[in-house]
Structure 1
Amino acid sequence: MELIDRMEHIPLPAIILDQKGEILSFNELMESNIEHELSIGTSIKEIFPTWDVKPTSKMILAEDGKKRYVFIRSSTYDDHAHLFVGTETSELSALKNENEDLKRLTRELDAIIENSYDGIYITDHKGVTWKTNSAIERITGIPKEYYIGKNVDALIKRGILKNSVTHRVVKQRRIVSLVQENYEGKETLITGAPVFNEDGEIEKVVTNIRDLSDLNELQTKLSRMNQLNDKYKKELDLLKNRTSRLEGLVIQSEPMKRIYDTAERIAHVNATVLILGETGVGKDILAKHIFKESARSREGEFIKINCGAIPADLLESELFGYEQGAFTGASQKGKPGMFEMADRGVLFLDEIGELPLLLQVKLLRVLQENEIQRIGGTKPRKVDVRIVAATNRDLKEMVEQGEFREDLYYRLNVLPISIPPLKDRRDDILPLIEMFMKQANEKYEMDKRIDSKLKDFFFSYKWPGNIREMSNLIERLVVTTPEDTIQMENLPPEYQETTDITIMPSSILPLKEAAELAEEKVLKLAVEKYKNTYDIAEALETSQPTVVRKLKKYHLRIPRGDVID
């Protein structure tokens, strides 16, 4: 009776037969699945005509005329009865297909978990490890098989884990993340997510372990790349805008490129600049460029004063200004000086070497205290002025001779820039000639050009007056030459005298030595003008191997191009 009472708990169709094959009992699933009416005492063959049970049979195939069933002899009720549990074959096929689908999905899920770059760690709600992948070995240094069946508490106790995200997930019933170090001391991000069953209870905890060292390294590299990108962008913007910023300037030679690069770097600081160089090299142009590149160009003015062009007794009032009635002939309203006019801007003190010693003292006070006092005034005035000074004299030698204050010299010589004479930067000569020709033609509405021989002369000429001399000469030639092409014979008499001796020796020598001197002179000029031995050979109307041999002979090199082997 006990088995009969439990038959309703069997999840499949079930029936109990005696040894004759007559029905002793059946459950509701059996009754609902069979189309024939079931009753106690009925022979099973009335239901399934093909029913054939041998003493050794464990599995029985049966048909009721429409459906096929499979029954399994499950257990013995007593010595004279047997329990059979079965199902329709179509349902069995469905179960088989479902089982195959489940196996396929399991394989796919295993492949996904195994091939994840991040570590996957799955536990039950008690923290017992159920599954891991190979990535966890790369991250933790411990084989994945070691974790299976281990409780996270035991792993923490052994020092393999520092913290358990599993317990936090179970307690908080939500996704939890934390950062901890792995066995190599690298940071790992651990994220645990709960898996709920149908009753809303946590069944599993899936933990994702990500090695942050790669991510941190990528972020560092990205940050570096962004910094470099910003740097290159700024440099590119500087290069793009260089033409407009350097309008009216010629910077072809390497020395001048370095000088103007330096000028742009120091433009945004307030330190004093001292520009050195011969008369006419362009010291005032460089000073203006420093001002234009600085933030002061947006707030103040560029004020220039030539310390050697103003009488000493007037220079003080020009620099510092005066109050009303300060001296005979002074304006009744008073007058601000150059320092006040240059407030928040730049004061360019040209020919600073001509500044009288008395005014040198007052200038030193301005540099030290950033304040001036007008002539006749009683109260000092604060000024914010950047000083750019220039001179063609040797201030250090003047200091030694007592003509220039040593303390003022060091105050001015904070950022010294020395501009070389034009003869030492010949790459600028022809571009400057072209610029001055263009300016003169536009000014006088002409279209003059320079003969190639005259260009060669200009290139080899020493230009004692530097750029100022060149500018004046070009304008003079444009105005005075009647022809469209300016040639050697159009040069002023003082220049004509130099054309015949530009490559001649200075004393009587044997002809062979004189020829070698002239040859060396011509090659030196060619090396300065041309960038490779092929252009030199073409200009000198000789072969390139000859040029190479001659350059070796006189130990000459092309500074911007070929290496003479």
Structure 2
Amino acid sequence: MNSTCEIRYWSGYFKDYLEQEKKKALSNYEWRFLDDNRLATARFHDQSYIFLTAAIMDNGDTLMIGCSTSFLAQLQVRVTELEKINRSLDATIENSYDGIYITDQKGITLYTNSAIERITGIPKEYYLGKSVDQLIKRGILNSSVTHKVVKQRRTVSVVQENFAGKETLITGSPVFNNEGDVEQVVTNIRDLSDLNELMHELMKVNELNYHYKQEIEKLRKITSHDGVVFVSEKMKMIYEVADRIADIDVTVLILGETGVGKDVLARHIFSTSVRSKKGEFIKINCGAIPEDLLESELFGYEGGAFTGANQKGKQGLFELAEGGVLFLDEIGELPLQLQVKLLRAIQDREIQRIGGTKPKKIDVRIIAATNRNLVEMVKKGDFREDLYYRLNVIPITIPPLRERRDDILALLDLFLAKANEQYHFNKALELSLKDYFYQHDWPGNVRELINIVERLVVLTDKALLSISDLPVEYQPTHPYHTSKTMTLKECVEKAEREVLERAVKTYQTTYEMAEALDSSQATIVRKLKKYKLKICEKD
């Protein structure tokens, strides 16, 4: 155990290693020198070895350089770990969807991944070893992000079109060394064409969502009462009023054109009232029953009151409606002599059967309806004024469909669904047909709409119904069809033109036409010029 070397300097890792082994004193070393004292080994008590080699410095000192077997093992572990980390980093960069290329501070490409081939259409090997200046010169790049990063010492992003004509987002980030200098630049290239396409698709989806939201909003606005749906504010207000007066026992007069749904509103008032739990909803059409039978239907009769009468007598509708509602539809058709008796029943809340001697108290709420102008009838003496005011306590006017077009499509969907269910079909309507329904004036109102929908569903073989499937009288080309209300002036001009068209085919001169039409020749000439008509020449 001897050593002729004075160990004064230790190099690199070996010095660090010995400092970690402070518990092992130099006296415990077993030295063996080989090769003219320039190569030696020392063994620790843990059987690990140090390999030393000697070198003489210019100042005469001996520099011992060495490495132990245990330290070599540690280095090997570290190398293995670093290789694993490098493989993971390589795989991450290589499999990145974005293009990545790394340059040194001078712009020389050190590394790039395969994504750059997809984005630029140029093999990644082409970039290696080339400077960004060369790539700019060859037209592969428009400008250098690398130079900007080195100059500004910060992350820089630019959007530019690449060699393949694709819009790209290029972001360069600096990598600093221990001295704070930019050592490398890592550049990320993102293909914006894919992103733009996604943005376009997203916009389409958003537009579709907006459309769906609008449809949902429309559905939310649709209110349903007793199988009737409506969207219009007018109908909402009417049914709000009906709900407020449902339990107030006042007489209601429902006004409106034929087919607007007067009886439906009357039933709604009944069904939402407490009377629906105490009595029945009894309806009578005052214009559908012969005058001589109407009184007995309303007030009933005693046995033997008249020839052919039931010997036990018969209850009238007032008695049948006890506790409930009596709906007098088409009240304007009620004969004058019965108007007096109806007034007494409403005022005194009692009736008297035909042939009876004693009045009978009743608990019946009256709801009346008519499509006639009762005020004008009162003025003409066709309707009693006192009865009118008794009925007109709560007047409710239901507007026609042409004045609440917002309800048409909602009602259309409802009636189509009902017809499909009733007749076991699955019919649908083209948009053009829906638009036709929306524009049509519907003189028969809801009743007419129900009728035409049912006809189309039953009589048409096709699953998708169109305007061509409409009955002849509903076709837009039919002379009696108008999709919108004509003004008086338009009607006059249309009739005038039709008369003149027939006249020019019949007469040979404007004088003959003037005489036949009881007009002046000058007027006929002016009208023909207005409508661009000429007299047909006869053979």
TM-score scaled by length of structure 2:
0.48
TM-score scaled by length of structure 1:
0.46
